[in-house]
Amino acid sequence: MYGILTIARYPKYRGFAGFLSMALFRMPLWLSKHLQFWKLMGCGRNGTFDKNPDWRQWAVLQVVGEDYFTPGNTGLKSRPPHSSFMANYWRFFGAETYTLVLQPLEGHGLWDGKPVFGSLPKSTGYNGPIAVLTRATIRLSRLKQFWQNVGGVASQMSAAPGYLFSVGIGEVPYVKQATFSVWQSPELMKQFAYQMQQHKDVIRKTRQQQWYSEEMFTRFKLLAVYGTLNGANPLKDCTTTA
């Protein structure tokens, strides 16, 4: 299976269209026969991991099966598997879209009680550009501790060696949160995750204080990207573009 993450950024004063899409997109996603899982999400302010929402930027995650690929070298289809309704909606409101095609490599955990990307190994030895999705449902009793600790880590990530791109996404403000990031290599990603003291402290507190009622961690190979975000493609040198 494969993950398709799309970030849609609406023009100024059209953020209402993004908010409305969270209701309107449910039907075409629900009716789609090739989707195994999907989520509609908001983004943190300016696309970062922030408890304040960005009303202009929204996200949709779609999980598709092997039939997303066709015979050939890469086999990628000419465009992401969005319904015509979604594609036309974004076009009508002038939204800029940025789509990433992801092949799950390693990971663990559940999302809404489901192993969204199947059973994955903890390590594969892959050594190219890597995307990481960390998603959790925060216990209501731990919200204060969580938000007091994660802000500093998020602000340092963009300056870390090997960092390429990230976006903060979530289903429910404050409670159901995720970070998606892309790095030059697994080694540089691990240096940030496990060698930066502040991040190590957050990981330790997460376990000791049981911040999450559910969590999922997945690493991906980046197969292709489509479109731009804020007028640019931050991953243009990493993979196939369209």
Sorted by where each begins, the domain ranges of the chain are 2-241
Task: Classify 183 as helix, strand or coil.
Answer: strand
Q: How many residues does the chain have?
A: 242
Q: How far apart, in Å, are the Cα atoms of 164 and each of 158, 159, 200, 212?
A: 8, 10, 21, 27
- pLDDT less than 50: residues of the chain: 71-75
Indicate the pTM of the whole model: 0.88
How do residues 117-170 score in pLDDT, each as one tens digit? 988 988 888 888 999 998 988 888 877 777 766 666 666 777 788 889 989 898
pLDDT at 144: 78
Average pLDDT of every residue of the chain:
83
- Residue pointed to by tokens 């930066």: 196
pLDDT at 6: 95
Among the CATH numbers 3.30.460.10, 1.10.10.10, 3.40.1050.10, 3.30.70.100, which is that of 2-241? 3.30.70.100
Structure tokens at 133: 């999705």
Are 167 and 207 a contacting pair, CB within 8 Å? no
